[in-house]
Structure 1
């Protein structure tokens, strides 16, 4: 079943790329593996997945230690400052930077490891009160501030669109994020590139691809429905 779902997801990405006149290699699929055990991730790995996204630091750390080291790990969930030190040497990309205090902590921990961390700025495009992320109007100023940190490299933007039954309802959200990234890119800020757009999840990633997503975060579409009672790992 996992193989079938993965194949279908990849095909839908290809179809959306064709529809939008994009090259398939412009879009990277991130398998969102929260709550799923390492054995399930290994199955996806054996089917070719190398990009995995986690929402919880504890889960990422546990899986990192038990899975192949050529996996690229994405921290896609809200990141608490006191947890940064636990993932700073494990993640390839942090998607959810939404405060100067968090960026400063990432800078400090990255400096200790003598590495430069790629990050995305999380933007709450739909301005939902229940979601993290800075407002679109604050994005440029925010990017300019954190661009000064020498151990952080701003690669682009991320958003979590509203959950909707009809994915077309989120098209404008994705279009707005892409426009924002273009506007910021035109400022030619040192240490900032806007080549990454992380947007689109299981219920709307085809539309996100059509609107310019370079990273799509798909969990249920690959792994199936989650049994939270059975699989949940909680933060300590």
Structure 2
């Protein structure tokens, strides 16, 4: 195995170790994001409940104004009875009074209904606020855990990046450029072993001629099927 291939194999392993941190980072971020989503959903629910309470209180105020106006109307009707001269006028005043009483009954019923809504939703707010307090505490706890985890990952990645920089400084620039171009699309499978005469990047079998060249050649060879850099897998003989 030539020097350049050995260097690329080591570099490929190092790059894989660096990239292996990605799922760990994503898992930590998702864990925190789930807590944030739960917290935000509770905040949104509290806002919706508050909006219902505000609307109910506005309805109560509106019906109270109606009751005030109806009471004034009924008082005025009683005063008019003194000046009634005909049965027709008396009947009209009586109908107005009955209609006003019906409206008063409806307004009082609605006030009672809206106040029940306010009471019920106020209880929901209290429960939701307790849930929010717990969700905030959980978020802060997970945030601290994730922060510690990320700091550890960053430190470990930093060491690997330093090691990578040292290795790349020692590799021929043309060879490194060749590797990096393949890595753009092949990611951590830019350099792959050949096992049982098959490329372990695309898992396609090599023909006898290509395989023979791989065994004998000291040059860097790429898979004719996928273009990855190939190397022979070192076999350990069984006792």
TM class by shorter-chain length? under 0.3
Structure with greater strand share of residues = 1
TM-score normalised over the length of structure 2? 0.18
TM-score normalised over the length of structure 1? 0.18
Structure with greater helix share of residues = 2
Higher alpha-carbon Rg: 2
